[in-house]
Structure formats: structure tokens, C-alpha cells
Amino acid sequence: METYDLILKRRTIRKYQQKPIDKAILLDCINAARLAPSAMNLQPLDYVLVTKPDSLKKIFTCTNWAGYNRDAGPKPGEEPVAYIVIISDKNVNSEPGRDVGLASENIVLTALEHGVASCMLGAINRDAIAGILKIPGNYKVEIVVSMGYPAQESIEDELKNEKHYWLDDDGKLHVPKRKMEDVMHDEVF
């Protein structure tokens, strides 16, 4: 699939099949993240891959899902089967936000190319995750990317008045997005 098509297809998925992801796919995702642009080429990011059941359960307790609609988050048996935890070395760059965004998008697009769904989680207990994963003190937990084969469908809807996503009676997640003509300004604002 071409990159643009992947971008159009990519949706946040929070409910997963309990089917393991081949480690080669996960390593491809981390490699794609590693190769993302980095401000001043400082490369402050590292990645912690989590796939063992006990560790998955511990990390899951440190995450918050679907702030707009709690029913949109995973129920028992729909939890992620892998996490990629993006961490940054504070001694290298204390504000790596752009790097994190670029790296995490590379992860989710690479995963999708392999049929793996994902969700970028920022509502997390960073201190607890750092403790569970034995992350050194000079590193900060930036974001957690949850991963698995999708157990839900997510549909782009036209944004009208409400930005909150919602579940229909079939459990499909509807995500309102602004129209192109509402966000694109030709030459001047």
C-alpha cells in the first residue's frame, strides 16, 4: 500500500484480537521510528518493546483509554498484545516533542502496512511505567503505542458540531474530522 493510502486508512484502534504480532513486524516498527527525522539530529529517543503477558498487564494498568467515551476502550480480552514505549534521554534533548510525534507516526504507519492496528497513548502513568520497565532516571517516558490486530472498526465522519468520537450500535467507532476546505488556506489565511 502506498504511503498516502496508509495515511487515509489509519485510524486509532483501541480493541485488539488476542493474536501475537510477529516480532519482525515490531522490529520493523522500531526501525522506522529510529529513522524518523530528529531535531538537529540529536536522536534522543529510545524504544522499549513490551510483549510478555505479565508486562503487558502491568503496563495496561498505567494507561487511560478513550477519554471521550469509556466504552470505546478495550474490555477484558481486547487488550493490546504489544506496546512500544517511546522514551527520551533528558540529557540529550529536554523537549523532544517533534521527534516523538514523527517517530510514533512512523510506528503506526509501519504497523498498519502489516495489518497491525495501534493507539498512541499519552494519558499514562509515566512514573509507574518507568518503574515497571526499569527506565533510568535520565530518561522520560514520552508516549506508549499500543498494538494488536484490530477487533473493532473505526470510521471517519464529517465533523459537524461535536468533535467527540462515538460508538454506533454495531460497536463501530465514528471519529469526526474537519473537512479539507475548513483547514486548507490557499496562499493566505
Residue 32 or 168, more confident: 32
Residue 181 lies in a domain: no
Residue 99 lies in a domain: yes
Q: Note if the pTM is more than 0.75.
A: yes
Residue 173 lies in a domain: no
- The pLDDT tens digits for 110-121 are 999 999 999 999
Residue 38 has pLDDT above 80, yes or no: yes
Per DSSP, helices labelled H in 70-155 are: 97-113, 126-132
> Cα–Cα distance between 117 and 150 in angstroms, integer?
5
> Cα–Cα distance between 144 and 151 in angstroms, integer?
19
Residue 112 or 1, more confident: 112
Residue 163 lies in a domain: no
Burial class of 188 by CB neighbour count within 10 A (0 to 12, 13 to 18, 19+): exposed
Query: Looking at residue 165, what is its pLDDT?
Result: 85
Query: Looking at residue 62, what is its pLDDT?
Result: 97
Query: Looking at residue 173, what is its pLDDT?
Result: 85
pLDDT band at residue 166 under the 50/70/90 scheme: confident
Residue 32 lies in a domain: yes
CATH of the domain at 99: 3.40.109.10
Residue 70 has pLDDT above 80, yes or no: no
- For the record, the C-alpha cell of 76 comes out as 477484558
Enclosing domain of residue 51 = 3-151
Average pLDDT, the chain: 94
Residue 172 lies in a domain: no
Amino acid code (one letter) for 48: V
Residue 25 lies in a domain: yes
What average pLDDT does range 131-141 have in this prediction? 97
What's the number of domains the chain is made of? 1
Contact predicate 36/87, CB 8 Å: no
* Cα end-to-end span (Å), the chain: 34
Query: Looking at residue 85, what is its pLDDT?
Result: 98
> Cα–Cα distance between 58 and 14 in angstroms, integer?
17
